[in-house]
């Protein structure tokens, strides 16, 4: 479900694709970093580094960290 018209969605896509591959890649990296920071902020304080890694993986990927 989307509330964006097809015309506007295409305009946004064209503007995004007008950027260089490097710019698009860096946008993705920044978005992932922001998502990671939000996920970290939502986890309980005081977790061990190993437990933090496990819970962050679960939050981001929706499944337990493979062993």
Domain ranges of the chain: 20-67
Find all residues with CB under 8 Å of 65, minimum gap 6, and list them.
53, 54, 57, 58
* Contact between residue 56 and residue 64 where contact means Cβ atoms under 8 Å apart: no
Q: What percent of the chain has pLDDT over 90?
A: 93
* Contact between residue 40 and residue 61 where contact means Cβ atoms under 8 Å apart: no
Q: Is the pLDDT of residue 15 over 80?
A: yes
Q: Is the pLDDT of residue 2 over 90?
A: no
Average confidence score pLDDT of the chain: 95
Place of tokens 């305009």: 11
Note the pLDDT tens digit of each residue in 18-31: 999 999 999 999 99
Q: Is the pLDDT of residue 1 over 80?
A: no
């Amino acid at each position: 479900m989307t509330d964006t018209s097809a015309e506007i969605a295409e305009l946004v896509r064209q503007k995004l694709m007008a950027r260089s591959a490097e710019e698009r890649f860096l946008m993705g990296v920044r978005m992932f970093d922001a998502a990671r920071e939000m996920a970290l902020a939502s986890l309980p304080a005081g977790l061990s580094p190993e437990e933090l890694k496990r819970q962050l993986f679960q939050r981001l990927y929706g499944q337990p960290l493979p062993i």
